[in-house]
Amino acid sequence: MNIRQDAWSDTDDRLLAETVLKHIREGSTQLKAFDEVGDTLDRTSAACGFRWNAIVRQKYEHKVKEAKRERKRRMRASASQAANRINHISNRPLQLDDMIQYLESLSSQLSQQEDTESIEQIEKEITSLEHAKQSVQQEINNLKKEYQDMKRDHDTVVHMMNRAREMAMTEEQLPSANIFRMDRNGNLEKLSP
C-alpha cells in the first residue's frame, strides 16, 4: 500500500486539534489557528480548515465544548478583574452606570465572537461544498474519458464490421473462391486458394 507524501499523520492531527482548541480557549478564531498550523506544517490554511472540519473535529467535539466553556469563564474572570480595577482606580464603590457600560462592552465582544463562530460555520460549509464539487468534477472527467474510450472502441468495431461486410459482398460477386482471414487487429488478409 502506497502512502501519499502529503498524507496527514496522527501527530499532524493532534497539532491541529491542540492549536484550534488553544485559539478557542483564548477567544481567538479558528481561522487564525488554521493559519498557524499551516505555517508549521507547510500546508495552506484552507487544507488545515478542511482537515479540521472533515476529519478531526468529530474526534474532539467534547474538547471543543470544554474550550468554549473555558473561554466564557475567562471572559467572566476578565470582567470581574476589570470591575475590580475600575473600583480600585476610582477609589469609590462601583456605580450602576459603570457596570452597565462594562456589560455593554462585554456584550459587544460576545456578539463579535458569535458572529465569528457563525462565519466559521459558513466557511466550513463552503469548504465542504468545494470538496464535494471537486469530487463531482473528477467523476465527470472520469466518465468523459470512459465515454471517449468506449466511443473509440465502438467506432473500431463498426469499421471492422463494415470492412467484413464489404469483403463478403465482394466475395459473392467474384466467381473464384476467395478465402480471407481476420488477424488480431481486425485486418483482413486473403489466403491463397
Residue 61 resides in a domain: yes
pLDDT at residue 61, rounded to an integer: 93
Mean of per-residue pLDDT scores for the chain = 82
**CA angle 116-121-123, nearest 5°?**
90
Residue 155 resides in a domain: yes
CA distance 67 to 54: 19
- Range in 5-19, 75-89, 154-168 the model is least confident about: 75-89
Residue 114 · residue 67 · CB < 8 Å:
no
Which of the two residues, 48 and 106, has the higher pLDDT score?
Answer: 48
Which of the two residues, 189 and 30, has the higher pLDDT score?
Answer: 30
pLDDT at residue 97, rounded to an integer: 72
Cell numbers standing for residue 93: 464603590
* Domain enclosing residue 184, as ranges: 10-191
CA distance 149 to 31: 44
Residue 2 resides in a domain: no
Residue 30 · residue 55 · CB < 8 Å:
no
| CA dihedral (139, 10, 59, 47) positive or negative | negative
Residue 1 resides in a domain: no
The candidate with the shortest Cα–Cα distance to 64, out of 124, 11, 104, is 124
Q: Which residues of 24-41 are buried (b: 16+ CB within 10 A; e: fewer)?
A: bbebbbbbebbbbbbeeb
Residue 4 resides in a domain: no
CA distance 154 to 146: 12
How many domains is the chain partitioned into structurally? Answer: 1
Q: Does pLDDT of 52 surpass 80? A: yes
Residue 113 resides in a domain: yes
Task: Please write the tens of the pLDDT for every residue from 59-118.
Answer: 999 999 999 999 888 888 877 777 666 666 555 666 677 677 777 777 777 777 766 666
Residue 3 resides in a domain: no
Residue 5 resides in a domain: no
DSSP label at residue 182: E
How far, in whole angstroms, is CA 83 from its chain's centroid? Answer: 44
CA distance 26 to 184: 72
